[in-house]
Amino acid sequence: MSPKKTKKPESFDPIASHMRRIIEELGENPKREGITRTPERYARAMRHLTSGYAMDPRAVVGKGLFKQEESEIVIVRDIELYSLCEHHLLPFYGKAHVAYLPRGKIIGLSKIPRLVDVFARRFQVQERLTTQVSETLMELLKPHGVAVIMECYHLCMMMRGVEKQNSYTVTSSMLGDFKTNSITRQELLHLLGMGGRHRP
């Protein structure tokens, strides 16, 4: 008589296992119908939201660099971004505006939002996220200048702590001519319409 086959257990996911324990510690029943599968869903969501750790910026840009003798400002504005604040693991979200002054090379426009995602899909602070995008573009393109401006709402301020729903944070990283040439910097801000209030 052959031994009775036992049902294979579901693949073990340590994130789901820890989340099940957290749910229980918070006073909820992890076996309740609406929550039974929540730990697995949470684990999948967190792996997606932190997928930037497995991404190489150079690989994302790939062959998206082209020789082009242009010298005018190139801007990709209103790039939607979503990230997780590393202090409370609560989301922050908003928009990024990315500009550069070419010097013999341009980048495929779709590569810029993808580059933002590489760094946004990690545990972050907005200040570092802004700098990482600008410094990476400066390294890859070696342009005359790079500017990155981000405007974000932080749920760690809106849902807890000071609970200010209408406040948002603006960060900028100016490199090359955008940092050293005030006329170039003012032209950028004028093109972005930042003379007045701009909401993300």
pLDDT in tens, 14-45: 999 999 999 999 999 999 999 999 999 999 99
Q: How far apart are CA 165 and CA 26, in angstroms?
A: 26
Task: Round to whole Å and give the CA distance between 32 and 35.
Answer: 5
Structure confidence by residue, pLDDT tens digits, 169-189: 999 999 999 999 999 999 999
Q: Please state, in angstroms and rounded to a whole number, the distance separating the CA atoms of residues 102 and 138.
A: 10
Cα angle 26, 27, 31; round to 5 = 105
E-only strand ranges, the chain? 65-67, 74-85, 91-101, 105-107, 123-124, 145-154, 169-176
- Rounded Cα gap, residues 154 and 35, in angstroms: 26
Catalytically active residues are 85-88, 126, 154, 156
Q: What is the pLDDT along the chain (200 residues), one digit of tens a residue?
A: 555 554 444 567 999 999 999 999 999 999 999 999 999 999 999 999 999 999 999 999 999 999 988 779 999 999 999 999 999 999 999 999 999 999 999 999 999 999 999 999 999 999 999 999 999 999 999 999 999 999 999 999 998 888 888 889 999 999 999 999 999 999 999 999 985 545 56
φ, ψ dihedrals at 95, nearest 5°:
-135, 150
- Cα-based distances in Å from 97 to 47, 161, 174: 26, 28, 12
Residues counted in the chain: 200
Residue 173, SS3 per DSSP:
strand
The CATH number of 58-191, from 3.40.50.300, 3.30.1130.10, 3.30.9.100, 3.40.50.10380, is 3.30.1130.10
* Spatial contact of 154 and 198, defined as CB atoms under 8 Å apart: no
Note the pTM of the prediction, 2 decimals: 0.88
User: What residue spans define the domains of the chain?
Assistant: 14-49, 58-191
Q: Are strands 145-154 and 169-176 parallel, antiparallel or unpaired?
A: antiparallel
CA 127 to each of CA 1, 27, 52, 148, 171: distance values in angstroms, whole numbers, following the listed order: 67, 36, 17, 11, 6
Position 7 scores a pLDDT of 45
Mean pLDDT across the chain: 91
